[in-house]
Amino acid sequence: MIDVHAHWRPAELIDALRARTKEPLIVRNQDGVEMLKSRIGEEPLSKAFDDVEFHLARMDRQGVSTSVLSLLGAFCWIESQPVEVSLPLCMMVNDALSGLCQKYEGRFNAFAALPLVDMSAAAAEFERALALPGVVGAQVPGNGFLTKKDAENMRPLLEVANRHRAIVFIHHGPLPGDKFPKVGGDTDNARRRNGTLDMQASLSSVMVTLCLTDYLAPYPDATVLVHNLGGNIPYEIERMDHRSLLDTANEELPSSRFRRSKVYVDCNSFGPGAIEAAVRLYGAERIVCGTDGTEFGCEWTSKALAEAQIGADAREQILHRNAAAMMSRLAKAAQRETVAA
């Protein structure tokens, strides 16, 4: 299995978290123990960050050959700080992730973190990070692509990805300054509303922008990946076709446009029925494996793929072949650039 959706909690940010005065930050509890405090609670530092040996052991237990590491959402606050703060922190994280890729060659790749408060600085850091061993793309927030108008601001990053045949991993999350999460903790079922209803609806909007407009036309060599099956599109597509036939009968059906678009999705957190629907819509060649990088996530995804009625070849494509081909495009581009230089 190649796991393209494996989040990482970098211990390199400890000093920066100690210096903060608002969540997330490090505080001492009544016993004098340092705790990482965030909107979801408090956790001892000994458990709040990822350990590479623990992660590798988990990969081995679950049959994961390679994890593509990306910053966990709770640590993406570094991307929204003033650029004089966010750029050094993003560079530190990217260098650390690349270090893991070098030390454990073949076991890890990484998506870069970017200082999103300044798109010129973000594009420059993306360019720099792609020259680091193991970095295959960047993780960017889904709120940047909710509409084509929103996505105009993200074009500098797509240009970098296109130039290097790199991956843009679009993950549900806010742009700097966005209210997030949308549903407050005092609302009933807030976690269900934020973690499923809002997340999936937002990802559906991202896919409509990417697949039903001409936004990606200038970037034929960039690889774009959206997590969680691209939102609810596999279930909503029949309704979308129905409305299209009623409202714009002469327009190409949305299902056809989604099917021939170049956007990839991962199958993180979904069961066999949803994976089957996604294969019918996108085709197995457009789906890769994602687990969030946790033991539970690996077990869930492995079981879902094993039970999905999609055939052995499609299963192998999702587990391994599609992601291997996706990342080899970047490696081949880098080799050409080296030869040209």
**Distance (Å, whole) CA 305 – CA 271:** 8
pLDDT tens for 9-59 read 999 999 999 999 989 999 999 888 999 998 878 999 989 999 999 999 999
Domain boundaries, the chain: 2-11+50-340
- With contact defined as beta carbons under 8 Å apart, do 96 and 131 qualify? no
pLDDT of residue 340: 53
- With contact defined as beta carbons under 8 Å apart, do 34 and 271 qualify? no
pLDDT of residue 318: 98
Helices marked H in the chain:
14-18, 45-48, 52-62, 83-103, 119-130, 148-151, 155-164, 190-192, 199-211, 233-247, 254-260, 272-282, 295-307, 312-316, 322-340
pLDDT tens for 87-129 read 999 999 999 999 999 999 999 999 999 999 999 999 999 999 9
Q: Is the pLDDT of residue 341 over 90?
A: no
Q: Is the pLDDT of residue 231 over 50?
A: yes
**Distance (Å, whole) CA 111 – CA 113:** 7
**Distance (Å, whole) CA 201 – CA 231:** 6
Which is nearest to 62 in space by CA: 296, 312, 325, 288? 296
Q: What CATH number matches the domain at 2-11+50-340, 1.10.645.10, 3.20.20.140, 1.10.10.60, 3.40.50.300? A: 3.20.20.140
Q: What is the CB neighbour count within 10 angstroms for residue 232? A: 19
Q: Which of 112-121, 130-139, 283-292, 330-339 has the lowest mean pLDDT?
A: 330-339
Question: What is the secondary structure of 253-270 as a DSSP string?
Answer: PHHHHHHHS--EEE-TT-
Tokens of 222: 């960039």
pLDDT tens for 288-311 read 999 999 999 999 999 999 999 999
Question: What is the secondary structure of 15-81 as a DSSP string?
Answer: HHHHT-SSSSEEEE-TTS-EEEEETTEEEEHHHHS--HHHHHHHHHHHT-SEEEEEE-GGGGGGGGS
In the numeric block, the tokens 């606050």 are attached to 77
Using DSSP, state whether 293 is helix, strand or coil: coil
Q: Judging by DSSP bridges, how do beta strands 108-112 and 66-71 pair with one another?
A: parallel
pLDDT of residue 211: 98
